[in-house]
Amino acid sequence: MENNEKQHLELIADMINTARKEFSDDSFIYLVWGWAVCIASIAQFVLLHMKSEYNALAWAILMPLAAIVQIVGLARQKKKERVKTHVDKVLGYVWMSVGISLGIVLFSQNTLQFNTYPVLIILYGIGTFISGGLMDLKVMKAGAICCWVIGAVEFYTKFEYQLLLLALSVILSYIIPGYILKNRFRQNV
Amino acid sequence: MFKDLNPILHSQLRLAIVSLLISLQEAEFTYLKEKTKATSGNLSVQLDKLKTEGYIEITKTFRNNYPLTMCKITRKGISAFEEYVEQLKSYINPG
């Protein structure tokens, strides 16, 4: 009789462990936004050096494009999803909050002036630190800490170098962890 | 003192289903089938029993013209599961 009870407890632990490891492969979102921000900021840096009037052009093109890719990608992913986990739900809310905050900051660019990018990077830090923690991804947590350090430094940096630091922050917190996450899912499949 | 074990949960497959659902927001029928290694027929029967008991909710929709069955644990299911685990513990560590 007791053996049977033990088996049942083992079964419970086994099933809970199986379910706990589930969360959707959202690596493409980190990669899309990481690359879009990285390319746009480097492009602006280069265009500023060329004294171009349209130095912010890459942002105007890449940001809406990244948003479209994300919407299409998420819709596709939803079709494949077989489970919804609590971690996915929390991550969804975290990034929604970060996204809304980023929107408010960008909308207030005229007031914030050269403080805009540092604030953006600090917000990246919040999103990636929580995500890294929930997904047990140390590289992302480390990337988030780098974001906070870079963000703090940026308040005292000239605008054109702010752009390069912005690119560096997304490489560390989005792009590198994004590829590692993608790889992790590939190995699991 | 041994407490009576809830007969609905004291079955290998039903317990496996509830243990999976307790950690997830929602799960598809095919996911449960894969993880519990049960046959479709048996899984359907056990899901129905859990539903009748009010432990889980089942929603049936369509995705790309294929039927899609989603299962979700209810509050009643969560309390029953917690109680069951406590009872199991009292069996294993009596006193």
Cα distances (Å, whole numbers) of residue A118 to A55, A59, B74: 19, 17, 44
Say if A3 is an interface residue toward chain B (CB within 8 Å).
Answer: no
- Across the range B37-41, mean pLDDT stands at 95
> Does A1 score more than 50 pLDDT?
no
Q: Could you tell me the residue ranges of all domains in chain B?
A: 26-87
Q: How confident is the model at residue A97 (pLDDT cuts 50, 70, 90)?
A: very high
Q: Which tops the pLDDT comparison, A121 or B10?
A: A121
Closest CB to A16 among B22, B88, B89: B22
Tokens at A129, concatenated: 């630190």
- Inspect the interface and report whether the beta carbons of B35 and A15 lie closer than 8 Å: yes
- Across the range A4-27, mean pLDDT stands at 86
Closest CB to B15 among A11, A19, A20: A11
Say if A189 is an interface residue toward chain B (CB within 8 Å).
Answer: no
- Across the range A161-188, mean pLDDT stands at 93
Instruction: Supply angle C-alpha B35, A78, B74, rounded to 5.
Output: 55
Q: What's chain B's Rg over C-alpha atoms?
A: 14
pLDDT more than 70, % of chain A: 97
CA dihedral (A43, A44, A49, A53) positive or negative = positive
> Does A71 score more than 70 pLDDT?
yes
What residues contact A60, with CB distance under 8 A and at least 6 apart?
Answer: none
ipTM value for the complex: 0.84
Residue A134 Cα, gap to closest chain B Cα (Å): 14
> Does A30 score more than 80 pLDDT?
yes
* Pairwise CA distance, residues A162 & A105, whole Å: 16
Question: What's the CATH fold of domain B26-87?
Answer: Arc Repressor Mutant, subunit A (1.10.10)
Residue A10 Cα, gap to closest chain B Cα (Å): 10
Residue A69 Cα, gap to closest chain B Cα (Å): 21
Q: Which residues of B touch A (CB under 8 A)?
A: 10, 12, 15-16, 19-28, 30-31, 35-36, 63-64, 85, 88-89, 91-92
